[in-house]
Structures are given as C-alpha cells and as structure tokens.
Amino acid sequence: MISAISAQEVRASSFDRSPDSYGPLLNTRLQQMGYELRFQSDGCSTSSQRRCRLSSPRVTIVAQGSEKPPYTTGITITADLLRNSTADPPGAVMGDALNTLAVTMMVFDPELQPDERKILVSSLADAALSVGHSEAKGVKARYSVVFDQSANGLLVIRVEPRREP
C-alpha cells in the first residue's frame, strides 16, 4: 500500500486522482502519522462529476472531481466548533479539523515542506478564528478557511488545485 501512495504522489499533478481515492489515502497517512482519527466513506455520487463524502465523529469531508479522467477539483473539510458535546475534550474538534488539513496537504501538496506546512496550518487557523476568514497558497494548492461564530459555528476549510487542468 505504501508503494502505491508513493507512485501516486510523483504524478505530474497531485490532484490527478479521482475523489474516490482521497479517503483511503487520507486514512493511510493519518495512520502513518500516528493519529487515531479515521474517516469512513459515506458514499460517492455516480455522476461523471463525483462527490464523495467522508466522515469521522467530529469532521465531515466532501471531495469533488471526476473519475474519468481522474481529477480532484476540491476538498471541503467541515467541523462544528460550537457543538456542545461533553464527550469531546477541549480543542478536540479543532484539532481533528487541523490535523485533517495538514494530512490533506501531505497528500495534495506533497512539495510543501513540513515546517512550511505547520506554519501555513497555524496561520490559516489563527486568521480564520480572529477575523473570520483566511486564504493562502501552497506549492500545488490554494487554501481557504472560514469561521463564522455568530452564524453557525462551522469551520469550513477548502483545498483546491492552484491551476485547473
């Protein structure tokens, strides 16, 4: 399995993969990084423009794109930061969302260096929580984060390729 991931990461564009492949790649990377967080597939649409939904207890993801040719046009990571659950330790929802973003960066923006990735995740989160939104560019992807505490308390993270095919 690890060799299959490595072969996919050396493609011309890291987004040249079907949205269906994101969940297994994400879970493999999460496991490799030592995170307990895992996502289950909630299914994919059957149309030519695929929408695949993944979920964990605290985070939901939608990966969009096409199956033929395989291409992911975007990933949306959503977490309810104001959810009222006594089962979650403080910061668990935010931690899961940001860890998901960091691992997504490893899959779709593999040329982004670990220190740059850490700084990018931190600055995106800090700005979104303080002013409500933030945007940044990686090597292969664009990132945006929106948090509207007064409206719904959702943290919405969007990952898209820097250039369309």
Return the top range by mean pLDDT from 12-21, 51-60, 140-149.
51-60
Cα distances (Å, whole numbers) of residue 111 to 13, 67, 107: 11, 24, 10
Per the prediction, the chain carries an average pLDDT of 88
Q: State residue 165's pLDDT score.
A: 44
Q: State residue 150's pLDDT score.
A: 74
48 pLDDT band (50/70/90 cuts)? Answer: confident
Res. 102: pLDDT tops 50: yes
Residue 43 bridge partners (DSSP): 53
Quote the CA–CA distance of 13 and 140 in Å, as a whole number: 8
List the one residue out of 163, 38, 34, 116 whose CA is nearest residue 124: 116
Span 121-127, average pLDDT = 95
Quote the CA–CA distance of 36 and 79 in Å, as a whole number: 17
Res. 2: pLDDT tops 50: no
Span 83-90, average pLDDT = 73
Higher pLDDT, 136 or 148: 136
- Please provide residue 129's backbone torsions phi and psi, each rounded to the nearest 5 degrees: -75, -30
Q: Are 72 and 157 in contact (CB under 8 A)?
A: no
Q: State residue 126's pLDDT score.
A: 93
Q: State residue 84's pLDDT score.
A: 67
List the one residue out of 62, 57, 48 whose CA is nearest residue 159: 62
8-17, 51-60, 68-77, 89-98: segment of lowest average pLDDT = 8-17
